[in-house]
Amino acid sequence: MTASPALSSDTIRAHLRTRAIGATLSVQDEVDSTNHFLENLARAGAAHGTVVVAESQTAGRGRLGRPWVSPRGLNLYVSILLAQAQASPAITWIPLLAAVAVVETIKNVTSLPVQVKWPNDVLVSRNGRDRKLAGILVEAIGRGEAGERAAVAGIGINVNMPIEVFPHELRTSATSLLIETGHPVERVCLLATLLGEVEGLYDDLCEHGPDGIANAYRHRCGTLGKRVRVELVGGGRVEGTAEGLASDGALRLRSDEGKILEIRAGDVVHLR
Ligand code: BTN
């Protein structure tokens, strides 16, 4: 198995077309988690737009306390600090914004027909089965005495990971760009495109509020309109139809008993 060419700050900078996102860039060989690494930088005063990217993670974090498989040199593990001082947008839209950015990036770079499963699993369908290509973990942090809130948006994209590197239990539910396209994908180009998408969407969110993100998300979300089962955090499950988004990005679900529920955390399963 050959790793992709190593990520270097010079090559990444040469591809970046952003203003703030990635202006401060930290490229690491190995970290526990890029989110954790960036949270420490943020608490020490790192600027809005600071980006951490790593070749490998020893304790990559997934949603709902799960691990994120992070072998060396094959994938993208990136965290972005979104912390504009003025007009700080509703943090609850950041996970959905990041999902739109990842979908646009993968479509632009590979033309694969990817979709989001609420809130932010990025999936591609093959042989009638959805497989996960990318995941997003957004973590809020308080900074300074004013309690200023910032978000660390952590994004993992399975890029050049062959099937034999996935743990057995993920081999039918997860995939990579290599597996889906049949060829290796240049990680620096993917990263530069991703940071450009995040910057455009975040600027729009700060200037115009969440309507644009909500619309973009609705068009890319395969969950809305579907029958779903939601496995709730802390146990329990509910089945119904995913009807839309609430004003903070929560999933509005009409349960089979006819109740409208707003889901803010949980695992969605698309039912056929
Ligand atoms: C999920 O469970 O779907 C979210 C996975 C998020 C993984 C990324 S990899 C970069 C960043 N650092 C982490 O520790 N997690 C996120």
Based on DSSP, count helices (H) and strands (E) in the chain, helices before strands. 6, 12
How confident is the model over 95-128, as pLDDT tens digits? 999 999 999 999 999 999 999 999 999 999 999 9
The answer to whether 71 and 56 are in contact (CB under 8 A) is yes
In the chain, which segments carry CATH 2.30.30.100? 227-270
H or E element at residue 107: helix 94-110
Fold for domain 227-270? SH3 type barrels. (2.30.30)
Ligand 1: centre distance to CA 52 (Å): 12
CA-based torsion, 12, 16, 19, 22: positive or negative: negative
- Is the per-residue pLDDT at 88 higher than 50? yes
- How is residue 87 annotated by DSSP? S
- 157 CA distance to ligand 1 centroid (A)? 9
Q: What is the location of CATH 3.30.930.10 in the chain?
A: 9-220
pLDDT of the residue at 147? 55
Percent of the chain topping pLDDT 90 = 88
Provide the whole-model pTM: 0.96
CATH fold for the domain made of 9-220:
BirA Bifunctional Protein; domain 2 (3.30.930)
In angstroms, what CA-CA distances link 271 with 130, 212, 223, 238, 242?
Answer: 11, 28, 10, 12, 11
Pocket test for ligand 1, best of 137, 155, 190, 198 (most atoms within 8 A of CB): 137
